[in-house]
């Protein structure tokens, strides 16, 4: 993979190479990574955990969409200029049962059906907890997260599964616990974890949780609001939790009758506004709901308060991409799906007015920033992006945006490389906001294997500090986190 694009067509990628990143990885590995270009910084110390669907088929039976795939945790441990790799599947009840049976036993939210037609799926409304979306280390616990149910607890060193985690009885059986917690760094250096639970319906509810570093629950409060809620992420400021209620409705009948997955029953309403739900973190002041232009949001970049207003940066789509029952996701036509762009919302709570501006035209996803700036005004943002502008395509690059000067830097893995979510790791004792490294897990379509790239977050125009070549591929994944702890 290089920074320059060796174009053989008008596209920056080969569809077949991209498809190779969606092969199952049924094997579990454990080894020191020895095939390295460059040099690993000795002061980069800790563990990079990453989650995503590891199985895209069950004994040859293809699942309908990657989001239905069983979760596989990857751990890269950095210590003294060396890196150890380990991966393990989360031993959920569904994973264990299907592995034993050798066939699909469960329906998936995104369209996977039990073989045998609708009559094998009718009235089967059981959720399979696939634990495939995120992974965090908090209060001595390693948690694999999936927003449809409770987390799974894992052994941090071996990644072995302990089982369902109720957080010391906080979560009821089957209660959702979102896969997008936010960690706020207070002025005294203490970290606070903020997360939420959603119960959608004709009227939906959100429960907010805040946790101390030792796992103690500091706050818990619930709020109801009208309408169906499809909420994947939230943003926080010192005083608020912020959600975007996408203008979608759910017709559950095809799901109940075994004809479609639940997510395939969502319908985007382009003439309806998107609603911004603003919940005070003190749990006492009233919730506010303001309306803005119709858009669909999976992920937020950051939010902050300034001069009596709230500013919110989010990745916005003009509509929701339908997950059709008869289509193969491997044949995705990127020219025909909505483009995700970085928007900034300016929310005036006093006047209940909202305006927005598009900050960047390039198609992008998976925004990250220096963790100390979560909930505070940030200068720099890093985000997975397409190689070309303004074409839609798989993510092949990492974009750095300077909100003060407007400067942008782009590191690209095109034409053969495809990127996932970057992770920002601050340099120990670093003072500048961009003083750190970006860890980027990529898939190389030429050798059909994955690489871990270490970039200098100060300058993406430079060649990577190091490229760590794995012996195998890791399927395209979702989210991850970094902890200074070495296991």
pLDDT tens, residue by residue, 404-444: 999 999 999 999 999 999 999 999 999 999 999 999 999 99
pLDDT of residue 9: 54
The set of residues, in sequence order, having a beta carbon less than 8 Å from that of 9 and lying 6+ positions away, is none
Query: How many domains would you assign to the chain?
Result: 1
Residue 4: inside a domain: no
Tell me how far apart the alpha carbons of residues 98 and 192 are, in angstroms, rounded to a whole number.
37
Tell me how far apart the alpha carbons of residues 157 and 161 are, in angstroms, rounded to a whole number.
11
Residue 284: inside a domain: yes
pLDDT of residue 322: 73
Tell me how far apart the alpha carbons of residues 80 and 88 are, in angstroms, rounded to a whole number.
24
Contact 471, 443 (CB under 8 A): no
Picking from 483, 377, 419, 484, the residue whose alpha carbon sits closest to that of residue 18 is 419
For 12, list phi and psi in degrees, rounded to 5.
-90, 5
User: For the chain, which residues score pLDDT lower than 50?
Assistant: 1-8
Residue 165: inside a domain: yes
Residue 10: inside a domain: no
Structural domain range at position 121: 16-483
Q: What is the pTM of this model?
A: 0.95
pLDDT of residue 328: 86
Residue 8: inside a domain: no
252 C-beta neighbours (distance < 10 Å), count = 13
13 C-beta neighbours (distance < 10 Å), count = 24
pLDDT of residue 391: 82
CATH code of 215's domain: 2.130.10
Tell me how far apart the alpha carbons of residues 277 and 34 are, in angstroms, rounded to a whole number.
48
Q: Within 13 Å of residue 473, how many CA atoms lie on the same side as its CB?
A: 25
Task: At 169, list the tokens.
Answer: 């009885």
pLDDT tens, residue by residue, 269-278: 999 999 999 9
The set of residues, in sequence order, having a beta carbon less than 8 Å from that of 356 and lying 6+ positions away, is 292, 293, 343, 344, 345, 346
Residue 1: inside a domain: no
């Amino acid at each position: 993979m290089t920074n320059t694009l060796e174009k053989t067509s008008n596209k920056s990628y080969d569809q077949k190479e991209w498809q190779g990143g969606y092969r199952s990885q049924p094997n579990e590995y454990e080894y020191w990574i020895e095939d390295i270009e460059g040099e690993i910084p000795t002061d980069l110390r800790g563990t990079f955990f990453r989650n995503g669907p590891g199985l895209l088929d069950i004994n040859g039976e293809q699942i309908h969409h990657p989001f239905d795939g069983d979760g596989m945790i990857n751990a890269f441990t950095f210590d003294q200029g060396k890196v150890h790799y380990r991966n393990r599947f989360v031993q959920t009840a569904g994973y264990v049962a299907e592995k034993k049976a050798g066939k699909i036993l469960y329906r998936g939210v995104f369209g996977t059906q039990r073989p045998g037609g609708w009559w094998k799926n009718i009235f089967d409304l059981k959720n399979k907890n696939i634990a495939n979306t995120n992974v965090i280390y908090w209060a001595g616990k390693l948690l694999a997260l999936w927003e449809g149910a409770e987390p799974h607890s894992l052994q941090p060193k071996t990644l072995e599964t302990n089982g369902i985690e109720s957080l010391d009885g906080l979560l009821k059986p089957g209660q959702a616990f979102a896969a997008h917690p936010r960690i706020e760094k207070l002025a005294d250096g203490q970290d606070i974890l903020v997360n939420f639970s959603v119960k959608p319906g004709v009227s939906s509810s959100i429960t907010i949780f805040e946790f101390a570093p030792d796992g103690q629950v500091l706050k818990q409060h619930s709020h109801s609001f009208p309408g169906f809620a499809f909420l994947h992420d939230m943003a926080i400021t010192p005083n608020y939790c912020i959600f975007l209620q996408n203008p979608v409705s759910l017709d559950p009948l095809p799901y109940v009758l075994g004809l479609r997955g639940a997510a395939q029953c969502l319908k985007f309403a382009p003439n309806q506004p998107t609603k911004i739900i603003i919940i005070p973190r003190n749990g006492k002041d009233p919730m506010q709901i303001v309306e803005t232009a119709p858009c669909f949001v999976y992920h937020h970049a950051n939010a902050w308060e300034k001069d009596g207003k709230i500013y919110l940066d989010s990745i916005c789509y003009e509509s929701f991409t339908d997950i059709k029952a008869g289509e193969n996701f491997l044949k995705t036509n990127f020219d025909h799906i909505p483009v995700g762009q970085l928007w900034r919302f300016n929310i005036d709570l006093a006047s209940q007015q909202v305006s927005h501006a598009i900050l960047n035209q390039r198609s992008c996803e998976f925004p990250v920033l220096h963790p100390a700036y979560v909930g505070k005004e940030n200068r720099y943002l890093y985000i997975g992006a397409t190689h070309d502008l303004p074409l839609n395509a798989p993510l092949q690059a990492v974009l750095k945006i300077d909100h003060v000067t407007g400067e942008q830097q782009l590191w690209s893995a095109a034409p053969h490389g495809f990127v996932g979510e970057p992770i920002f790791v601050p340099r120990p004792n670093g003072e500048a906001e961009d003083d750190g490294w970006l860890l980027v897990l990529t898939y190389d379509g030429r050798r059909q294997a994955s690489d871990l790239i270490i970039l200098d977050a100060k300058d993406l125009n430079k060649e990577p500090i190091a490229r760590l070549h794995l012996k195998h591929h890791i399927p395209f994944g979702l989210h991850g986190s970094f902890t200074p702890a070495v296991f």
